[in-house]
Structure 1
């Protein structure tokens, strides 16, 4: 393989490429793209845990020409990815997650299915996978219908804030909604979290009230982005694997299937870091400012960690050791929310719509 960067749609079997790289060069310098690609589970864990490998800055010097509100959201999300800002952001995000109220998803998923059901058929991805995670989050934070509709309608634009490269059209669409998005979410903030607790975090870290509000609003937007990105892929990929492997006998079996899908065919194939200092991975010297591609999907198929990794096996005892959501302090906070949501939604689907059991997909 000459390049570590490719579109999945351009490769018939990326997992075969990953296996070849793990066997030949698990820590690979991609000269054409000037980036390290890490393929083994062990070495991916080393990078993810290394404080000298940080999440790279998006949009330095605002070269993408985002407006004030979009820039505030992006900067508060990416700055929070590293150092003390990360600790602040995680503290706020944990507070936000703790304030979510429990939502009965059956009525939500039934409405989504019935609204788009045509001749007993439905587009699972467009009708459910792309809508359910964000709708459940919005309902759990008591957003009203008007604001929920605005955010749900624009979620595909909102997630583009985090793109490393954006087209002019994407920047324009982000700028168009960013002020409205920020103001709509800000008005709910103190209905969700205790004002005094939030400001106490700011005082502890010598951050102004205005800035801590920006951080909190951006974190809530970040939760929406994470849940949408993770949720739609897990709901779609898990559905396919459960159908193909006929693992829908009960809710526990479906939950195991979701976890195994996250390992076997993850919606998030890789993530990036940048070296802030020199360090070694194995015998390879990663130099300061080197870019690093952590190939999570390859790590999840590493036979050194997972027995018979190319086999979909819901009973494998360490499937939860997959790296799809990261590990440690940078683990995606939407991990358990996304797993539970997918398991609940898919069980409701398979339990109610029995004809799915007979599909030939």
Structure 2
């Protein structure tokens, strides 16, 4: 448990933790900021004020989501504020009977129901709804575009998701005003803190919502039983009810009717309002998506990470269980604050900043994780992307109006109740080009392709660093500061043919500009030659990243840094960081001769006490065997350089299990297409409870994504490791250049873009 605080020896948690109140001003104003103290010092604590165990860090939240047996979702829809007798009487009088839905159902019933109802949420099936969504958005935008001002929530963001939800369900959409009040009542009833008087009014609304759902369901059921050709998710469920009434029960149908209207409607409406608030506040990012709509899916994902509408979710422990080093007792109620996990610097760099070019935004926890991950995540993504694309194309000059934003007090859902914007109709682009109303672009359904997330940066300076090595400083053309980065990070420069080349960042991490070094290789694929000939001062380059798959383990007892040639670029950044931290390290820098070694002057000037140079022309080659043998126990070895150096190190590490090696390759001997094919195999996904088949002509990564699972990836050539997943059972055919020999021998992880299973794998996703 955490250390004792505030001189209170009776409890291991601080006074701030024990008194934490999700209905307090701090949490209601900014949930992530309110739990900064927890992310930093007390990642799991007991709140006496609310009677819940609060979990605030990314990995711990994901671990709770992953284990839905130990951590039951049974209390996910439990009222956070106990109902008054008067409110209970209202619900009883009206026959309110909402029970289990996909959200709060335990296994094995949950997955049996989920499998029966999942097909409609597959990306290909959802794509069919895109034209309907776009037509709705255009209709709403047409009504206000010449007005010059709007409350986007009232005029568009509330009604569009509601209509989409009703259409998707197959439900009549005649009574939106009533449904809006029903949806809010359900939110306040479940996650809010209404006063005793408000509880009675809320109960009346919830009961009406329940009975309305029942009436609509009865009419829809009659159509199914009459054999009419009707379509929609609720009709599919009704048909499943007729086939498997013990799984898709009558009560379950009505409960899901009510729950999914809220889940598909309010979450998307509030998330869209949050996205417009953030993008219009960070004007240069709004302008960027107006110039390059291909960035919109990435912007959606980053807004969901930074300011998602689902703030927190709940579980209950079915046994004593350790989370983050703290034992939560059986029966303990848990509040997982995803908004806090989404700001965890252990997983996201510069987590408090909105950065639509962030490479791993899709790792966010806003949709949950595992078997209970939101089924409607992709329809929500699709709606948000279409709404932002339509508005940014037709109203790029949109501005936030001066206003005091208000939020409905509750623990789980967050978004402004109103969002007022203004614009000058005289500047509407379609006055000059009416075709803009009809030129919207379609995006693939699902998480964004990282390769589409591209910045266009200016070469602020290009100058020789050593023989055949060009130093390049990249800057934002608009003068904005580029994000800071961590040692080991790299960027991808996109070549004219669409292929990319990876270059490690090597300058000061927080300078607001990025520095790379490019070694010219005339026998290579042509990228370095193109950079030397075209990336001069003033040039504009398309850049992806930063990405970091070569992280420095700062907490190791000792560090050994090994650089071969141009491999000094990430290693120098690591040395700079370790020196700043006052950590012990040794730096080995090998090259043919001094004239060919980039940053040599800086290495010798700033790391003189730690560096040992190894020059081939002087006969002082590095003795890797001795370096490994002499490394203190517990050392972290980071290496970057030629493949032969890395392979030799990898082989030597088998003699020193007390050391940890991490290295980085930037090239592969095989094409991505060749790596993605091979012997067919089956895979069982334990977190999501899915069984899939990987055919000969597809990679495991492609199959997982086709099943609607969000798996991050970057290079898709087996070089970066971003698509790694944990393997519980089965033999692996390793094809990557990421895992060490020791890690491959352990057989507990696979790089999904290229490696394959032998017959069958069981993986955790």
- Provide the rounded CA distance (Å) in 2 between the counterparts of 1:79 and 1:344: 27
- Provide the rounded CA distance (Å) in 1 between the counterparts of 2:153 and 2:103: 32
Encode CA deviations 1:296-330: one digit per residue, 9 max, x unaligned: 11111111111221222222222111111100111
Counterpart of 1:34 in structure 2 is: 51
| Aligned 8 A contact 2:56 2:336 in 1 | yes
Q: Which stretch of structure 1 is more off in the superposition, 12-21 or 240-249?
A: 12-21
Counterpart of 1:317 in structure 2 is: 359
More helix by share: 1
- Provide the rounded CA distance (Å) in 2 between the counterparts of 1:291 and 1:298: 18
- Provide the rounded CA distance (Å) in 1 between the counterparts of 2:93 and 2:357: 49
1:25 equivalent to 2:42? Answer yes
The structural deviation recorded for 1:116 is: 5.8
- Provide the rounded CA distance (Å) in 2 between the counterparts of 1:16 and 1:161: 26
- Provide the rounded CA distance (Å) in 2 between the counterparts of 1:327 and 1:70: 34
SS at match of 1:77: coil
SS at match of 2:314: strand
What is the 5 A alignment of 1:277-316? 277-316=319-358
- Provide the rounded CA distance (Å) in 2 between the counterparts of 1:186 and 1:311: 48
What is the 5 A alignment of 1:1-361? 1-2=16-17, 3-7=19-23, 10=26, 13-50=30-67, 51-57=69-75, 58=78, 64-65=88-89, 66-67=91-92, 71-72=96-97, 74-77=98-101, 80-95=104-119, 97=121, 102=129, 103-115=131-143, 119-146=147-174, 150-152=178-180, 154-160=182-188, 162-163=190-191, 167-189=199-221, 190=224, 191=230, 192=232, 193-194=235-236, 197-202=240-245, 206=246, 212-243=249-280, 244=282, 245-246=285-286, 247-248=288-289, 249-356=291-398
SS at match of 2:308: coil
- Provide the rounded CA distance (Å) in 2 between the counterparts of 1:179 and 1:358: 39
Gaps spanning 5+ residues in structure 2: where? 1-15, 225-229, 403-420, 422-765
The 3 A distance-change label for structure 1 pair 165 and 187 is: farther
The 3 A distance-change label for structure 1 pair 28 and 82 is: same
- Provide the rounded CA distance (Å) in 2 between the counterparts of 1:80 and 1:169: 25
- Provide the rounded CA distance (Å) in 2 between the counterparts of 1:39 and 1:282: 10
The 3 A distance-change label for structure 1 pair 129 and 196 is: closer
The 3 A distance-change label for structure 1 pair 67 and 178 is: farther
- Provide the rounded CA distance (Å) in 2 between the counterparts of 1:124 and 1:284: 44
The 3 A distance-change label for structure 1 pair 76 and 14 is: closer
Gaps spanning 5+ residues in structure 1: where? none
TM-score by length of 2: 0.42
SS at match of 1:122: strand
The 3 A distance-change label for structure 1 pair 283 and 144 is: closer
The 3 A distance-change label for structure 1 pair 141 and 22 is: closer
SS at match of 2:309: coil
The structural deviation recorded for 1:341 is: 0.4
The structural deviation recorded for 1:145 is: 4.4
| Aligned 8 A contact 2:275 2:303 in 1 | yes
| Aligned 8 A contact 2:73 2:104 in 1 | no
The 3 A distance-change label for structure 1 pair 214 and 68 is: farther
Encode CA deviations 1:25-55: one digit per residue, 9 max, x unaligned: 1111223333211111111111111221112
| Aligned 8 A contact 1:129 1:232 in 2 | yes
SS at match of 1:104: helix
Q: Which stretch of structure 1 is more off in the superposition, 332-341 or 305-314?
A: 305-314
CA RMSD of aligned residues (A): 3.2
The 3 A distance-change label for structure 1 pair 355 and 317 is: closer
- Provide the rounded CA distance (Å) in 1 between the counterparts of 2:83 and 2:186: 21
The 3 A distance-change label for structure 1 pair 250 and 222 is: farther
| Aligned 8 A contact 1:186 1:217 in 2 | no
Q: Which has the larger radius of gyration?
A: 2
| Aligned 8 A contact 2:31 2:339 in 1 | no
| Aligned 8 A contact 1:55 1:81 in 2 | yes
Matched residues, number: 354
The 3 A distance-change label for structure 1 pair 143 and 46 is: closer
